[in-house]
Chains A and B, each alone.
Chain A
Amino acid sequence: MQTFLQYTILGLAIGGSYFIAASGLVVTYTTSGIFNFAQGAIAMLAVFTYWQFRWGWNWPAPLALLMVLGVLAPLLGAALYQVVMKNLRGTSEVTKIIVPIGVMLGFQALATWVWNPTSSTPRQFQKFFGPNAFVHFGSIKVSWHEIIAFVIAIAIAVGIRLLFVRTRSGVAMRAVVDDPELLQLNGGRPERLAMISWAGGSFLAALAGILIQPMIGSAMSAGQLTLLVIDAFAAAMFGRLRSLPRTLAGALVIGLTTTYVIAYFPSKWTWSSSFRNSLPMIFLFIVLIVLPQDRLRGATVLRLRERFRMPSIRTAWIAGLVLMVVVFCLKVIMERTAVNTLTLALTFAIIALSLVLLTGFAGEINLAALSFGAIAVIVVYHFGTTGSGTDARTTLWGILLAAVVTALVGAVIALPALRLRGLYLALATMAFGVFVSRMVLTERNERDIFGLKFTIFTAGQLTIPKPKIGPFDFNSPDAFLFLCAGLFVIIGIGMVYLRHSGYGRRLAAMKDSPAASATLGMSVVRLKLSIFMMSAAIAGIGGVMMAAQIGTVNSDRFDILLSLSLMMITVVGGIGYISGALFAGLFLIAFVQMLDLTLKKFAVDYSSLEAIFLFFVSAVTVLPATIGITMGKNPSGAVSDIVNGLDQIKQSKSLVITLVGLEAAIWALTATDVITNWHFVILTMINLFIVPVIGGKVLLARAMRGVPKPVPPELIGIDRPFTSDDLAEMDRALDLEGVVVPSAGTVREGATGVSA
Chain B
Amino acid sequence: MSETNYHEDHGALADAPLIELVDVRAAYGTIEVLHGISLSVPQGSVVALLGPNGAGKSTILKVVSGLLQPTAGEVRLAGRVVNGAPADELARLGLCTIPEGRGVFPNLTVRENLWMATMAGVPLADVEEIAYARFPRLGERRKQLAGTMSGGEQQMLSMARALSVNPSVLLLDELSMGLAPLVVANLYEIVAQVSQEGVSILVSEQFARTVLGIAQYAAIVLHGTITRVGTPAELEDELSAAYLGS
Contacts and interface: CB of A to CB of B under 8 A. Distances in A.
Given A171-B112, A175-B116, A187-B119, A182 B105 contact: yes
B99 interface: yes
B200 interface: no
Given A168-B115, A185-B97, A714 B105 contact: no
A755 B118 CA distance: 42
A620 B105 CA distance: 46
Interface string B119-132: 11100000000000
B76 interface: no
B65 interface: yes
Contacts, number: 76
Contacts of B17: none
Interface in A740-756: 755
B34 to A, nearest CB: 13
B30 interface: yes
Contact of B119 (A178, A186, A715): A186
A182 B103 contact: yes
Give the interface centre of A174, A179, A182, A713 by most chain B CB atoms within 10 Å. Answer: A182
A569 B104 CA distance: 41
Interface in A167-193: 168, 171-172, 174-175, 177-179, 181-190
Interface in B177-201: none
Given A171-B115, A712-B31, A712-B32, A187 B107 contact: no
B226 interface: no
A179 B106 CA distance: 9
B211 to A, nearest CB: 21
Contacts of B117: 186
Contacts of A185: 65, 67, 87-88, 91, 96-97, 99
B233 to A, nearest CB: 27
B84 interface: no
B92 interface: yes
Contact of B30 (A178, A712, A755): A712
Contact of A184 (B31, B87, B107): B87
Interface string B76-117: 000000000011100110001101001111111000100111
B57 interface: no
A495 to B, nearest CB: 30
A178 B99 contact: no
Contacts of B65: 185
Nearest to B92: A187
A365 to B, nearest CB: 26
Give the interface centre of A171, A714, A755 by most chain B CB atoms within 10 Å. Answer: A171
Interface string B25-52: 0000011100000000000000000000
Contacts of A171: 108, 112, 115-116
A302 to B, nearest CB: 12
B31 A183 contact: no
B95 to A, nearest CB: 9
Interface in A587-643: none
A128 to B, nearest CB: 38
Contact of B88 (A174, A179, A184): A184
A303 to B, nearest CB: 8
Contacts of B106: 178
A182 B86 contact: no
- A interface, by DSSP: helix, strand, loop or mixed? helix
A190 B116 CA distance: 12
B67 to A, nearest CB: 6
A181 B99 contact: yes
A169 B96 CA distance: 20
Contacts of B121: 187
A712 B32 CA distance: 8
Contacts of B103: 182
A189 B88 contact: yes
A170 to B, nearest CB: 10
B22 to A, nearest CB: 22
A172 B120 CA distance: 13
B140 to A, nearest CB: 21
B108 A175 contact: yes
A182 B108 contact: no
B108 A174 contact: yes
A715 B32 contact: yes
B161 A186 contact: yes
A504 to B, nearest CB: 27
Give the interface centre of A181, A187, A714 by most chain B CB atoms within 10 Å. Answer: A187
A713 B106 CA distance: 37
Contacts of A713: 31
A713 B29 CA distance: 12
A175 B105 contact: yes
A175 B32 CA distance: 31
Given A178-B105, A182-B103, A182-B105, A187 B32 contact: no
Contacts of B161: 186
A30 to B, nearest CB: 10
Given A171-B115, A186-B117, A178 B91 contact: no
Nearest to B29: A303
B86 A187 contact: no
Contacts of A181: 67, 87, 99
Contact of B116 (A186, A714, A715, A755): A186
Contacts of A183: 88, 105, 116
A444 to B, nearest CB: 50
B118 A168 contact: yes
Contacts of B92: 187
Interface in A713-740: 713-715
B76 to A, nearest CB: 19
A712 B118 CA distance: 42
Interface in A141-187: 168, 171-172, 174-175, 177-179, 181-187
Nearest to A192: B88
A90 B196 CA distance: 41
A172 B112 CA distance: 9
B225 to A, nearest CB: 11
Nearest to A756: B52
A74 B161 CA distance: 34
Given A184-B67, A184-B87, A185-B99, A179 B31 contact: no
Given A171-B108, A178-B107, A187 B120 contact: yes
Interface in A411-466: none
A187 B67 contact: no
A188 B91 CA distance: 8
B105 A188 contact: no
A171 B112 CA distance: 7
Nearest to A189: B88
B120 A186 contact: yes
A240 to B, nearest CB: 13
- For the complex of A and B, list the 9 residue pairs with the smallest distance between their C-beta atoms, beginning with the closest: A187-B119, A187-B91, A178-B105, A184-B87, A187-B92, A185-B97, A187-B120, A184-B88, A175-B105
Given A188-B116, A712-B30, 15 more contacts: A168-B118, A168-B119, A171-B112, A183-B105, A184-B66, A184-B87, A184-B88, A185-B65, A185-B87, A185-B88, A185-B96, A185-B99, A186-B120, A712-B31, A715-B32
5 contacts: A168-B116, A168-B119, A175-B116, A182-B103, A187-B121
Interface of A: 168, 171-172, 174-175, 177-179, 181-190, 712-715, 755
